[in-house]
Structure 1
Amino acid sequence: MATFVLVPGMLHGAWWYRPLTDGLRAAGHEVYPLTLTGVSERGHLNNGAVNLDTHIQDVLATLEAERLTDVVLVGHSYGGMVLSGVADRAPERIAALVYADAFVPRDGESAYRIVNDVWKQRYLAGAAAGGGTTVVGSNPALDPRASVHPTASLFQPVALTGAGEAVTRRVYIHAERFEDSPLLETYDRLRDDPAWTVHALPVGHDLIHEAPEEFLKIALTAAE
């Protein structure tokens, strides 16, 4: 039996992972899908002080409180920023990292720094619409449960010491049909790196609904 901790992307909560959560539990694994501070059902905690460090601490606190070790840590989209911070701070608790069409930052990078110009403008517009404290999820293609998201988490650079490199099982899933994807440079950087196992799926960014079986298979393989 493996232990999975699932970190959602921007605007989404633990509920986004439901198909994967159900599939992993049906296979006999322990699963902890998380909702980050200030998002979705935890949106009432959103304020200008909630940042990337807050979200990293959300995950670290779960690992500590539940006494979790040998964890397969899965992150979608923005969740990759959080994964990298957690792996750097608690590599001894992590067995594998699965970045699902997600950011894989280097030291000093923020989500805003990594994204392309299209997404930079979306971040800025969302922040302005939210009064400078939130990014507003207004795309009608989003799940109706999608919520506001703390702006500071997208602009704060991640501080990495290199300790996370001790986690040698690293998986990346690239969504080939993500329109205006801000992650193409990340995919190009990783796909020929022997330290990574990289999958490219002919789907959009909403992997949990567009490629549920493939997502589950990749997650299960990462736990082996």
Structure 2
Amino acid sequence: MATFVLVPGMLHGAWWYRPITDGLRAAGHEVYPLTLTGVSERGHLNNGAVNLETHIQDVLATLEAERLTDVVLVGHSYGGMVLSGVADRAPERIRALVYADAFAPRDGESAYGIVNEIWKQRYLAGAAVGDGTTVLGLSPFLDPRATVHPVATLFQRVSLTGALDTVTRRTYIHAERFEDSPLAETYERLREDPSWTVHTLPVGHDLVREAPEEFLKIALSAAE
């Protein structure tokens, strides 16, 4: 049996992972799908002080409180920023990392700094129609359960010491039909890196909705 901790992307809560959560539990694994501070059912905790460090602490606190070790840590989209911060702080607790069409930052990078100009403008537009402390989802195709997202999480730079690199089992899932993908450069960098296992799926960014079986299979293989 493996232990999975699932971290969602921006605007989304633990609910996004439901098909993956159900599949992992049906296979006999222990699963902790998380909702980060200031988002979804934890939206009442949103304020201008919520940043990337807050979200890293959300996950680290779960690992500590539940006494989790040998964890397969999975993150989608923005959740990859959180994964990297967590794995760098507590590599001894992590068995494997799965970045599901996610940011895989290097030391000193922020989500805003990584994305292309199209997505920089979308982030800024989403913040402009909010209250200045949150980003709104501007896409009409978002799940109606999606909420605002704390804007400071996108601009804070991650601090990595290199301890992350001691987690040698690292998997990346690339969604090749994600139009104007802000993660294209990340994918190009990692697919040439022999320390990563990279999968490409012929789908868009919403992996759970578009490729739940493939996503589940990759997550299970990361635990083997």
Inter-partner Cα distance in structure 2 for 1:138 and 1:145: 14
Amino acid of the structure 2 residue aligned with 1:39 = V
In structure 1, what is the equivalent of residue 210 of structure 2? 210
Aligned length: 224
Inter-partner Cα distance in structure 1 for 2:195 and 2:139: 36
Matched, 1:83 2:83: yes
Taking the TM superposition and a 5 Å limit, the aligned residue runs for 1:184-195 are: 184-195=184-195
Gaps of 5+ in 2: none
Q: SS at the partner of 1:32?
A: strand
Cα deviation, 1:140-159, whole Å, max 9, x if unaligned, reads 10000000000000000000
Inter-partner Cα distance in structure 2 for 1:35 and 1:195: 29
TM norm structure 1? 0.99
In structure 2, what is the equivalent of residue 131 of structure 1? 131
Shift of 1:138: 3.2
Amino acid of the structure 2 residue aligned with 1:78 = Y
Return 208-217 or 125-134, whichever deviates more. Answer: 125-134
In structure 2, what is the equivalent of residue 101 of structure 1? 101
Shift of 1:131: 2.0
Inter-partner Cα distance in structure 1 for 2:161 and 2:126: 31
In structure 2, what is the equivalent of residue 179 of structure 1? 179
In structure 1, what is the equivalent of residue 5 of structure 2? 5
Inter-partner Cα distance in structure 2 for 1:53 and 1:169: 24
Two-structure CA RMSD over aligned residues (Å): 0.5
Inter-partner Cα distance in structure 1 for 2:133 and 2:99: 27
Inter-partner Cα distance in structure 2 for 1:157 and 1:209: 30
Taking the TM superposition and a 5 Å limit, the aligned residue runs for 1:15-54 are: 15-54=15-54
Taking the TM superposition and a 5 Å limit, the aligned residue runs for 1:142-181 are: 142-181=142-181
Overall identity of the aligned pairs, in %: 87
Shift of 1:127: 1.2
Inter-partner Cα distance in structure 2 for 1:138 and 1:160: 31
Where do 4+ consecutive residues of structure 1 move more than 3 Å?
A: none
Cα deviation, 1:58-98, whole Å, max 9, x if unaligned, reads 00000000000000000000000000000000000000000
Amino acid of the structure 1 residue aligned with 2:24 = L
